[in-house]
Copies of this chain bind each other. A is one copy, B any other.
Amino acid sequence: MPKITDARREERRALIVEAALRRFMSHGYQRTTMADIIEESGLSAGAIYGYFPGKAELVYAVATRILSARRTELAIAGRDRALSPAAIVTLLIDGVRREAPMPVLMQVWAEATVDENLRALAETAVSEVRGAIIAALIPWAEEDRRRTGGVDPAAWARAAAPVITALVPGFVLQRTLLSDFDEQAFLRAIALVVAADVDDRPTG
């Protein structure tokens, strides 16, 4: 029964990936040994190596899982009305905040520094987010040409997107490292610094 088998297979893979993710969260990727993951997953060494050729592939799977999470978020959100840069950033960060295991996210970025496969994975993810941002910025720029100082909306969006994208890792880093970091204050402050609509400003 290949169909059931396939489903079970995916289930197993997910189980393993989650076990790995949990250990990466608490001990870091590099310090996590296969034995750790084996223990955490409740499976045996052989079983895991039946699903993943090695430790590297496990990170790839974990990374894929983490990085692909917020991909579509934005496109959906942007459907009904034009979003200001500040609104976009807020949306993104809110997504990360709710879903992403930030320490592992950082570890993946760092590992991507040195592992080409991971870099490619991360690049794709970042590019996709950037693409979504561009797509969401254009209607906002078109609504009112003064917003972009008269520049061509598409060109403006392409230029601005990287800067907007940059705020996400900045948030993650501070969230992860600073013991006194105030998430809510950060979210509210975005509109103080980044171009925003009047109604993006937090009330009160």
Contacts and interface: CB of A to CB of B under 8 A. Distances in A.
Query: Interface extent on A, as a size class?
Result: 35 or more
A182 B30 CA distance: 31
Contacts of A173: 109, 126, 166, 169
A192 B162 CA distance: 11
B174 A159 contact: no
A181 interface: yes
A38 interface: no
A191 to B, nearest CB: 9
Contact of A188 (B106, B122, B159, B166): B159
A81 interface: no
The 3 A-B pairs at the shortest CB distance, nearest first, are namely A166-B170, A110-B110, A28-B114
26 contacts: A27-B114, A28-B114, A103-B114, A106-B110, A107-B113, A107-B114, A112-B177, A123-B177, A126-B178, A156-B192, A159-B185, A159-B192, A162-B189, A163-B170, A163-B190, A163-B194, A166-B170, A166-B171, A166-B173, A166-B186, A167-B170, A169-B169, A169-B170, A169-B172, A169-B173, A193-B194
